Amino acid sequence: MSIADPSPTPAAVLAAGDARLIERFIERVWSEDGLAERTLEAYRRDLEQLARWLAGRGRTLDTAGRDDLSAYHGSQPVSVRSMARRQSAFRRFYAQLARDDGGREDPTLLMQRPRMPRGLPKALAEREIEALLLAPDTTTPLGLRDRAMLELMYASGLRVSELVDLPLSGLNPRQGVLRVTGKGGKDRLVPVGEEALAHIDAYLRDARPALARGHGQPMALFLSRRGDAMTRQMFWTLVKRYALVVGIAPKRVSPHVLRHSFATHLLNHGADLRALQMLLGHSALSTTQIYTLVAKEGLKRLHAQHHPRG
């Protein structure tokens, strides 16, 4: 079979040598770069898929060349974002092999990088956020929990993973701050507004003890009905459910919609971009600047809607 043959080979298995190389790579990037667990899992999956594809053509990760990788990319149509992540994994992997063996050629050096489209984060209007926050039934323990989670995410701009992973010990209600562990294991202090603190206090007093009953002393701040930590999927499901309740189209809601709205609304009310960068936990200011484009788009729509010559 030709190396450039793009036909899938599902029966190909992961060779022991490839498995060892992948494991060594994952351990190295974890220790040297402190990548998040989800990123490591994605890198491992991408490399294992490549290794199986190569195995069906008599190749291994160690012997693959530029033509092999080009043929693989051509045979696996994915989104631009997935392609960029996959190439990032391959570049890191083969750069490490080249460092370990000075005579080895890196097959990824001349490969063209995919051009990422610059999509704007989707933020809800302030009135829509207000309706979403009011949607949970706070006469029930789960409603109290959901209201506290929604309020906290909008008040502090947390990532969904940061919200569900937040330990009870991470909250300091007296000082009104959270200690949050973000991407790369980096900690930051995030302020919490009085409104969010009031709903968290109600949850801790009237809901969390009932959810934790019979489950020892769970560490997570927000608990599921089973008494264990919430998951990203659980939170996404409840956000989508409440959005439907208040008439927000599901396609306009994402797991990070409250975080995006937090950033956009702060900028609309005059927040400093550097301060916003610290609140969001962005390592580079360029990442935060995307929200200035969202704010400008909102101003354009406002002008077009209300100006007599708009």
Q: Which of 43, 72, 242, 291 is catalytic?
A: 291
Contact between residue 114 and residue 83 where contact means Cβ atoms under 8 Å apart? yes
User: In angstroms, rounded to a whole number, what is the distance separating the alpha carbons of residues 179 and 96?
Assistant: 34
Catalytic residue among 57, 259, 260, 265: 259
Catalytic residue list contains 256: yes
Q: Which amino acid is at 109?
A: L
Which residues have C-beta within 8 Å of that of residue 202, sequence separation ≥ 6? 138, 144, 148
Report the C-alpha gap between 233 and 235 in whole angstroms: 5
| φ and ψ of 49, to 5 deg | -65, -40
Catalytic residue among 86, 199, 265, 282: 282
3-class state of residue 172 by DSSP: strand
Selected catalytic residue, list 183, 188, 232, 240:
183
Q: Are strands 177-181 and 187-191 parallel, antiparallel or unpaired?
A: antiparallel
Tokens of 303: 């002008």
73, 147, 199, 256: the catalytic one is 256
- Per the annotation, the verdict on 291 as an active-site residue is yes
Residue 159 annotated as catalytic? yes
Which residue in 159, 199, 208, 260 is the catalytic one? 159
Angle between helices 80-100 and 16-33 (to 10 degrees): 100
Report the amino acid identity of residue 91. Answer: R
**113 catalytically annotated:** no
**Non-local CB neighbours of 181 within 8 Å, separated by 6+ positions:** 162, 165, 170, 187
Catalytic residue set: 159, 183, 256, 259, 282, 291
